[in-house]
Amino acid sequence: MPELRLLSYNVRSLRDDTAALARVIRATEPDVVCLQEAPRFTGWRRRTAALGRATGLHLVAGGAPARGVAVLTTLRPVVERTADLPLPATPGLHRRAVALAVLRLGHARLAVASCHLGLAAAERRRHAALLTDLLPRTAHGAPLVLAGDLNEPPGGAARATLGRLLRDGWDQAPAGGRLTFPADAPDRAIDAVLAGPGVTVLRCGVPDPREGGPGAADLRAASDHLPVLAVLRVAAPPAGPPRARPAGTRRPVAD
């Protein structure tokens, strides 16, 4: 059963110290990064690619087409398919979407989705209910992980809805902190990694500088959110006849 390191990070449109941000990401050694508030306006591809070059990552899903959520990976996973999934708009509020990538590690498959739920509680509840139906269908049979800025603490209504499908990684295997916002004096746990059946969470939480994680100064300078790192074990499917290589299977490529 392969292990995978996944980092979820709201990067505030790269408006903070991007050198510190790159150091934080490199220090956590992720295979996959789910970004929220990734660049989405003019020059977004160039700015995302620059972050990728600084961290050894490649954009595989999302960005501007997904309203600023994105999935980046190293070259370790094979990317089977990707999707940018718009969510129903609420008049007067920022439009939301989900970026999803179905990845393969050896014989194991994993669907990784990056999301950023809204500030309005009613909209969060609607979108969470939609995601519990939409994500399994889009995962094409792969175990599922949803990572993102949920804009809601544990126990909130939207998180309870998502809990019907996915389990909070910190609840299963806490490692490091849970509070993620604001970065300089966190008092809210609004960012999370949620895992479905077939995914074992080995460790999950805000990386701790005292345990070899990113430096505290870099964590404060990189963004107004702290990242969440999850170490996951993905169950391989039962042995069977060789599967044909899916159409469109590809390695990620830099923009």
Q: Domain map of the chain by residue range? A: 3-234
Architecture (CATH level 2) of domain 3-234:
4-Layer Sandwich (3.60)
Split at pLDDT 50, 70, 90, the class of 214 is very high
pTM of the full structure: 0.92
pLDDT greater at residue 237 or residue 253: 237
Encoding tokens for residue 161? Answer: 């809805």
Mean pLDDT of 115-131: 97
Split at pLDDT 50, 70, 90, the class of 213 is confident
Mean pLDDT of 48-54: 97
What are residue 148's DSSP bridge partners? 115, 192
As to burial, measured by CB atoms within 10 angstroms (0-12 exposed, 13-18 middle, 19+ buried), residue 27 is middle
- pLDDT at residue 133 is higher than 50: yes
Encoding tokens for residue 135? Answer: 């994500």
* Burial readout 165-196 (b: 16 or more C-beta within 10 A, e: otherwise): bbbbbbebbebbbbbbbebeebeebbbbbbbb
